[in-house]
């Protein structure tokens, strides 16, 4: 069926919920055709999909925007994605000089810089301070309860924040302006040893994000603490880390083994080239929270008892995989797919289906699955998280 609308001057096919074998039928009712085009595996699920699984996808484009002078933020928590109980995410942008005010959380904060540059500051429980400038691909981690700030540098910035509690909301944090506004001025006077009149101009409510001047480089902003600086760096340059290269892409893993301060969040930055896929695998230590940075892909999640479901993803989307559920991710586009796998854990762990079979007695595997010698000979004892083996590679139709 064709539609009279045109796409770049050319007519396009309106997708219909019909499989090649004739199952299904046309949808003539009210519908969001652009949604259907972006989610072909919801409209026409693979024939191997079966059973019931909760929604495992949410887009930041569907999240509420908090707009302030100095930047914006939007979040995906258990409110927006009910299955996501272990982690919550905030997408934030700061203008040049824009400040995420001095604040702290009951949860740990892990961050990935998407673009631009920012200056971050923090002080730990022993009075040791930290200040540095971070750029694209850099991470930071602030343990729960430690006060910190973020400020955009000359080009501004955008970043992803991940918190180790799915119920977290960035609009319900502990901010310095909010505390000042709800503390009697005579108490502030006694605490700081200055007249009450010194607090006549403090904000009347939480500031959250505000506009300020672009700060000087971190090396010119240092405040000397009598207790020194923090013993473990709060930042990490992920893109400077050599990747694990494979036939279909690459992986960079970051956890407490190479970013020691990050004791509650582990992650992997995954690159999947066109025609390649993140192999069939699962994670034995916790749920997986995903953030898609570029490209487009599809993920099928296997939950056991005959249940499997497929979702389509684009840049800016969040995916979720419950603990130990099997899954794989295919690049369905013509550009490289980049995404983050993030876990509430101090260690990154995954189990490869291919490797498990290769390290299991051959006769047992053969008798279980009735596989021939060609497949058994091809099993890999070494893990390869991203695979591409033409002509057996997946290519979008």
Tens-digit pLDDT profile for residues 322-349: 999 999 999 999 999 999 999 999 999 9
Mean pLDDT of 213-241: 96
Question: What pLDDT does residue 375 have?
Answer: 97
Task: Classify 373 as helix, strand or coil.
Answer: helix
DSSP letter assigned to residue 216: P
Spatial neighbors of 236 by CB under 8 A, at least 6 apart, are: 138, 139, 140, 141, 254, 258, 259, 262
If residue 358 lies in a helix (H) or strand (E), which one and from where to where? helix 353-358
CA distance 128 to 144: 16
pLDDT at 275 over 90: yes
Mean pLDDT of 350-361: 98
Place of tokens 């824009």: 98
Question: What pLDDT does residue 4 have?
Answer: 41
Question: What pLDDT does residue 7 have?
Answer: 55
Structure tokens that stand for 361 in this block: 């007695």
Mean pLDDT of 96-118: 98
Mean pLDDT of 110-135: 98
- Write the burial class of residue 248 (CB in 10 Å: 0-12 exposed, 13-18 middle, 19+ buried): buried
Place of tokens 């970043």: 159
Tens-digit pLDDT profile for residues 164-222: 999 999 988 999 999 999 999 999 999 999 999 999 999 999 999 999 999 999 999 98
Question: What pLDDT does residue 394 have?
Answer: 78
Question: What pLDDT does residue 396 have?
Answer: 72
Question: What pLDDT does residue 197 have?
Answer: 98
**pTM score of the predicted model:** 0.95
Spatial neighbors of 163 by CB under 8 A, at least 6 apart, are: 87, 88, 89, 90, 105, 107, 108, 109, 110, 170
pLDDT-based confidence at residue 2 (cuts at 50, 70, 90):
very low
Among 301, 291, 255, 286, smallest CA distance to 270 is for 291
How crowded is residue 147: how many other Cβ atoms within 10 Å of its Cβ? 17
Catalytic residues: 341
Report the first-to-last Cα separation within the chain, whole angstroms.
Answer: 18
pLDDT-based confidence at residue 13 (cuts at 50, 70, 90):
confident
Question: What pLDDT does residue 1 have?
Answer: 33
> In terms of residues, how long is the chain?
397
Q: How far is CA 153 from CA 101, 118, 119, in A?
A: 15, 5, 7
Q: What percent of the chain has pLDDT over 90?
A: 93
Q: Are 297 and 273 in contact (CB under 8 A)?
A: no
Phi, psi for 5 (deg, rounded to 5): -65, 160
Structure tokens that stand for 30 in this block: 């009210």
Tens-digit pLDDT profile for residues 47-70: 999 999 999 999 999 999 999 999
Question: What pLDDT does residue 6 have?
Answer: 53
Question: What pLDDT does residue 3 have?
Answer: 44
DSSP β-ladder status, 244-246 and 249-254: antiparallel
In sequence order, the β-bridge partners of residue 223 are: none
- Write the burial class of residue 230 (CB in 10 Å: 0-12 exposed, 13-18 middle, 19+ buried): middle
Question: What pLDDT does residue 127 have?
Answer: 98
Question: What pLDDT does residue 10 have?
Answer: 64
DSSP β-ladder status, 57-59 and 66-68: unpaired
Question: What pLDDT does residue 390 have?
Answer: 85
């Amino acid at each position: 069926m064709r539609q009279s609308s045109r796409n770049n001057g050319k007519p396009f096919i309106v997708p219909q919920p019909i499989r090649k074998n004739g199952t299904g039928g046309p949808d003539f009712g009210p519908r969001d055709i652009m949604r259907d085009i972006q989610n072909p595996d919801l409209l026409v699920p693979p024939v191997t999909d079966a059973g019931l699984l909760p929604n495992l996808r949410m887009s930041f484009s569907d999240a509420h925007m908090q707009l302030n002078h100095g930047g914006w933020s939007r979040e995906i928590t258990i409110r927006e994605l009910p299955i996501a109980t272990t982690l919550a995410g905030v997408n934030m942008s700061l203008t040049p000089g824009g400040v995420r005010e001095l604040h702290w959380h009951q949860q740990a904060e892990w961050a990935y810089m998407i673009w631009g540059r920012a200056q971050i500051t923090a002080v730990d429980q022993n009075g040791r301070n930290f200040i540095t400038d971070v750029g694209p691909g850099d991470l930071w981690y602030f343990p729960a309860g430690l006060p910190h700030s973020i400020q955009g540098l000359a080009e501004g910035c955008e970043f992803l924040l991940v918190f180790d509690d799915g119920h977290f909301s960035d609009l319900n944090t502990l901010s310095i302006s909010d505390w000042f506004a709800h503390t009697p001025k005579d108490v502030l006077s006694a605490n700081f040893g200055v007249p009450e009149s010194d607090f006549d101009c403090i904000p009347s409510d939480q500031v959250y994000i505000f506009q300020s001047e672009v700060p000087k480089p971190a090396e010119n902003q240092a405040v000397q603490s009598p207790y020194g600086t923090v013993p473990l760096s709060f930042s990490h340059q992920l893109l400077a880390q050599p990747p694990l290269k494979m036939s279909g892409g690459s992986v960079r893993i970051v956890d407490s083994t190479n970013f020691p301060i990050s004791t509650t969040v582990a992650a992997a930055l995954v690159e999947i080239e066109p025609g390649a896929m993140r192999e069939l695998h699962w994670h034995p230590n916790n749920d997986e929270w995903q953030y898609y940075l570029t490209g487009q892909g599809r993920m099928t999640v296997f939950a056991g008892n005959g249940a499997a479901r497929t979702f389509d993803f684009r840049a800016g989307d969040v995916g979720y995989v419950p603990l130990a559920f099997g899954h794989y991710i295919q690049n369905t586009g013509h550009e490289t797919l980049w995404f983050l796998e993030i876990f509430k854990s101090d260690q990154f762990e995954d189990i490869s289906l291919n490797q498990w079979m290769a390290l299991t007695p051959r006769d047992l595997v053969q008798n279980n699955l009735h596989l021939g010698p060609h497949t058994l000979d091809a099993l890999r004892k070494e893990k390869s998280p991203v695979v591409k083996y033409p002509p057996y590679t997946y290519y979008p139709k």
